[in-house]
Amino acid sequence: MDTATPARPNVIWIFGDQHRAQALGCAGDPNVHTPNIDRLAAEGLTFTGTVGGCPLCSPYRGALLSGRYPHNSVPGHEHQLPPAQPTIAHAFNDAGYHTAYFGKWHVDGFHERDGRAAMHIVPPERRGGFQQWVGYENNNSQWDCWVHGGAGDDAFHRRLPGYETDALTDLFIDYLRARGGHDEADTAPQPFFAVLSVQPPHDPYVAPEQWMRRHTPGAIVLRPNVPAIPRVVDQARRELAGYYAMIENLDWNVGRIRTALDEAGLAHNTHIVFFSDHGDMHGSHGQFRKTNPWEESMRVPCIIGGHVPRYANHAGRVDAPINHVDFGPTSLGLCGLDVPDWMEGTDYSGLRLPGRAASDLPDSAY
């Protein structure tokens, strides 16, 4: 009789910046081809009512990491994530998980006034408790991405080769390969919680040429709420051509990650949570970028996927209003872990896992 203890599930987060919910093939956008994300959605649970309750990078990220609303964590770009504030990494660390973070951080205060924020070094004690951390504060230059990490004699600061999403995915895949290599029947290896946070599709809207050449401004189908004002239409089409190219590149990298999970023997036991921090108006209501209280700015993708067969995962679409503070509690819930009392969000894992009782779910998001 096999007495091996089943391995505890892993969780990975994959999220881009400024990716609105409407900009996916599975969401019905005719401009973009996203087969890998669409497959994740087909196999997983899509939360169609997901919002970035504060559609601005730093407040969202502070709430995401802490499970606490921006007024209790990071209310604006100029504020740091309080060093004494526990994060989701601490919760997973306490449960015996390995934790790792790769990519954009943007919760260490406003540093653009001091020069390029990519050159700002986030000290180890302000990296949210992650055991492995390779990232940058802010960048906004996808072909010139610098990352740092380590501490003391092991500290490093280097420029990534090529395009940001590709290079960060390379680092993420190296991590997955290092965590893999165990047979499914092995006595449980250390589980992990790992985050890949990339800047694209945040402006500037540029991507490798193989994706850029797929989109021309004149062929872009605009949303019906983009007003027929020539300057608005022209800017929206021009920027969306690059935006969709960035999303298709991100989709390709999602496919690379899933292949790496398969090859490392991790796919059978890893929950994949795909989302974004906020959206992008792209001319809707005559507006551009974010911070606006409209669907294109506030509503973001959210898919909980991955093939974890012993959990008999629920798939499909639900309209539950998951918010920035809910990703931490939900991710802990996917692993059967208790939600710490300092988190203010809701655990939605019961909608994905049939054997886990759903908590009382709110009917709105703040």
CA distance 93 to 34: 34
Q: CA of 69: how far to CAs of 201, 323, 363, in Å?
A: 25, 10, 17
CA distance 235 to 63: 32
Q: CA of 18: how far to CAs of 136, 204, 350, in Å?
A: 17, 11, 28
- 36, 296 contact by CB (below 8 A): no
Task: Please calculate the CA angle 250-11-249 and round it to the nearest 5 degrees.
Answer: 5
- Catalytic option among 19, 90, 98, 106: 106
First-to-last C-alpha distance (Å) of the chain:
50
* Listed residue (258, 261, 269, 355) closest to 312, CA to CA: 355
CA distance 56 to 220: 26
Q: Tokens representing 351?
A: 């909608």
CA distance 320 to 361: 8
Is 106 assigned a catalytic role?
yes
CA distance 3 to 53: 46
> What kind and span of H or E run contains 11?
strand 10-16
- Catalytic option among 19, 54, 57, 111: 57
Is 335 assigned a catalytic role?
no
Q: Which amino acid is at 268?
A: H
Q: List active site positions.
A: 57, 106
